[in-house]
Amino acid sequence: MKSGHTAILQIEKPGLQTSVQDLGRPQGASWGLPIGGAADGFAIQVANLLLGNSLDAAALEITLGGFRAQFLHTTSFALAGADCQARLDGQILLPNAVYRGVKGQTLQLAAPAQGVRTYLALPGGIDVPVLWGSRSTLLSAQLGGWDGRVLHKGDLIAARRRDKLRPACAVAMPERGQIVRFIAGPQWQELGLEGQKNFTAQNWKVDAKSNRMGLRLNGNQLSMEIPIEMASHAVMAGTVQLPANGLPIILLSDAQVTGGYPVIAQIIQADLWRLGQLRPGESFFLLPVEQAEALSALARQQAWFKRLASAIATCT
Amino acid sequence: MSSLMIYPLGETALVLQTNLAEQSRLIAMLRHFEKQHSAHTGYQMVLGVGNLTLRFNPLQQSAEDALLWLQQQWALSEMQVDEINGDTVEIPVVYGGNAGPDLEFVAEQASMSVQQVIEAHCTPLYQVLCIGFLPGFPYLAGLAPVLHTPRRAEPRSQVPAGSVGIGGAQTGIYPCSSPGGWHLIGRTALTLFDANANPPCRLQAGDRVRFVAQDSL
């Protein structure tokens, strides 16, 4: 790959879907470009914090484990997100921690027992070109990241910074729980009391056809009291659409820029990361909250990152 | 009088809802924003059809400030609407055959000959309402009612890039290959989205489009 830096990792097994992601590309909306970026924006930031990277550095997003790579040079690295019982030449690694990979060692991730996505960060972030302010891969349009595609066996990964010895450091991540909070959407009223109750009282199950664009939900179908025809409007990660079949779709980070289905809810920003870790067959509840709670949850999350950053700085 | 509503979408966005008659005004808002503000406001604008969404970071900007700012932009747009000088872009299209496998179906639905469908599709000066669905995908207004055709019962899993399609009352062009449920009547060799170009989109909201029939790509 065109890169000024030396390759430090060779992919031996990419697993189901491994791509380069960061915090996304917010500026291309009027060209129809999805924001994209990590499906679990929380874990990728933790991985970067652990390594002393900037929060928007690019990392590998590994889907459901099954990943193997060899270190071509000695380097520190961090893993965060779904626990894949990672092993470094057979030695078991804790999740959400920094380690040192020695030249010749092999990093192996098994399938996680919980969660979907694991982030592998390298010093300074993964070295791929910036496209419109982001290094994230937009798989649907084959743009950005690693030539617009998922990683293949044999790909050589470079990092943007020379390795700096990092102190061993592990983080206790917040519990994901079974609840995802939302704010009522523009078409919430049209759902009627019965539909609203149906939406919040049931245990929704994630359908196998879910991907980075959206989570399809299975459960008791909802119906609008009055069917409505919608003009195309902006949608984004966390937007809950209700198609005519009555089964909601929650959009994820690769959400298209505009959509035409009624929007019954919007998942709060602080809980978006939970969506990125929900796996097919897993079930969860949706809890309505007010704007104020959404804002304080977001502020608390921000404060948690700040505390983590200063804790890491003191152990350096 | 124009109808106007502004309501929140979650804690990070406000939707300005009006109607299709005000699309030029919304386009003027977007263009003015891109010229003046996009870099330093921290706001992002997404244009829809008869609506416009403002995204913001609620830890940096309050919803009240965003609302006030959006209202100001709307008020200003009344004067800016005359300034939109959209390009008129001719799109060369090969109709029918492999390039447009559904052309005959559309003709049957419309009780027209294939040639009449082509003429009816090439006549209007379409307006680009907004770009969405896929990078560079134009939502076009102006399709002749006789050509309105319900979407395919089963979407194709792969529509080739450049395909010109009809879905309900809309016509549009697939900038990249994608699954799609529209009826495909032709294809253009014109590149609508080029990651290496600046801007990457050939068309912008406010541009006008005319399809021109040609024999080969």
Three-state secondary structure call for residue A191: helix
Contact at CB, B51 and A231, closer than 8 angstroms: yes
- Checking if the pLDDT of B165 tops 60, the result is yes
For residue B163, what are the β-bridge partners? Answer: B187
User: Among all residues of chain A, which has the CA nearest to that of B59?
Assistant: A299
Q: What values do phi and psi take at A130, rounded to 5? A: -85, 130
Interface test with B, best of A25, A27, A31, A271 (most B CBs within 10 A): A31
Name the helix (H) or strand (E) containing A193: helix A192-201
Q: Which residues of A touch B195 (CB under 8 A)?
A: 131, 143
**CB spacing of A31 vs B13 below 8 angstroms:** no
The C-alpha atoms of residue B100 and residue B104 are separated, in whole angstroms, by 9
CB A183 within 8 A of CB A294: yes
Q: Do A231 and B20 touch (CB under 8 A)?
A: yes
* pLDDT over threshold 70, residue B40: no
| N residues, chain A | 316
The pLDDT assigned to B198 comes to 84
- Cβ-based interface (< 8 Å): residues of A facing B: 26-33, 131, 138, 140-143, 183, 185-186, 231-234, 236, 238-239, 256-258, 263, 266-269, 291, 294-295, 298-299, 302
Of residues A59, A25, A14, A54, the one with CA closest to residue A40: A59
pLDDT at B115 over 90: yes
**CB distance from B155 to chain A under 8 Å?**
no
Which one of B11, B15, B132 has the shortest CB-CB distance to A269?
Answer: B11
Mean pLDDT of B41-51: 92
Yes or no, beta carbons of A256 and B134 under 8 Å apart: yes
CB neighbours (10 Å) of residue A168? 11
Confidence of residue B39 (pLDDT cuts 50, 70, 90): low
Mean pLDDT for the stretch of residues A161-165? 79
Q: Nearest CA to A80 among A28, A37, A115, A126?
A: A115
Contact across the interface for A294 and B10, Cβ inside 8 Å: yes
Q: What angle do CA B5, B9, B14 make, to 5 degrees?
A: 50
A215: closest CA of chain B, how far (Å): 17
Taking an 8 Å cut-off on Cβ atoms, the answer to whether B135 and A32 are in contact is yes
Examine the pLDDT at A119 and tell me if it is beyond 80: yes
The minimum CA-CA distance between A73 and chain B, rounded to whole Å, is 33
- Whether residues A232 and B195 touch (CB distance < 8 A) is answered with no
- The strand pairing partners of A179, in sequence order, are A285
Burial class from Cβ neighbours inside 10 Å (0-12, 13-18, 19+) for residue B88 reads exposed
ipTM: 0.93
- B3, B7, B11: which to substitute to probe chain A, counting the most A Cβ within 10 Å? B11
The alpha carbon of A10 is separated from its chain's Cα centroid by a whole number of angstroms, namely 23
For residue A130, is it left (φ>0), alpha (ψ between -120 and 50) or beta? Answer: beta
Are A234 and B13 in contact (CB < 8 Å)? yes
Q: What single-letter DSSP state applies at residue A188?
A: T
Q: What is the pLDDT of residue B168?
A: 87
Q: Does B41 touch chain A (CB under 8 A)?
A: no
Residue from B199, B110, B53 nearest A28 by CA: B199
The pLDDT value recorded for residue B152 is 87
Q: What residue in B sits closest to A184 (Cα-Cα)?
A: B10
What is the spatial distance between Cα B26 and Cα A197, in angstroms, rounded to a whole number? 36
Q: What is the pLDDT of residue B65?
A: 94
**Min Cα separation A168/chain B (Å):** 32
Do A268 and A171 form a contact (C-beta atoms < 8 A)?
no
Based on its alpha-carbon atoms, the radius of gyration of chain B, rounded to whole angstroms, reads 19
With a cut of 60, say whether residue A166 has pLDDT above it: yes
What is the CB neighbour count within 10 angstroms for residue B151?
15
Do residues A173 and A46 touch, judged by C-beta distance below 8 A? yes
What's residue B38's pLDDT? 62
Enumerate the β-bridge partners of residue B95: B186
Query: Least CB-CB distance to B134: which of A26, A141, A294?
Result: A141
Nearest CA in chain A to B8: A186
Which of these, A46, A54, A41, lies nearest to A124 by C-alpha position?
A54
What are the pLDDT digits (tens) for A35-94?
Answer: 999 999 999 999 999 999 999 999 999 999 999 999 999 999 999 999 999 999 989 999
How far apart are alpha carbons B202 and A263 in whole angstroms?
Answer: 30
C-alpha to C-alpha distance for B205 and B77, rounded to whole angstroms = 15
The pLDDT, as a whole number, for residue A238 is 98
The candidate with the shortest Cα–Cα distance to A70, out of A26, A20, A7, A116, is A7
User: Could you tell me the pTM of the whole model?
Assistant: 0.94
pLDDT of residue A163 exceeding 80, the answer is: no
**Residue B65 Rama label (left phi>0; alpha psi -120 to 50; beta):** alpha
* CB neighbour class for A70 (10 Å; exposed up to 12, middle 13-18, buried from 19): middle
Which tens digits make up the pLDDT trace of A189-228?
A: 999 999 999 999 999 999 999 999 999 999 999 988 877 7
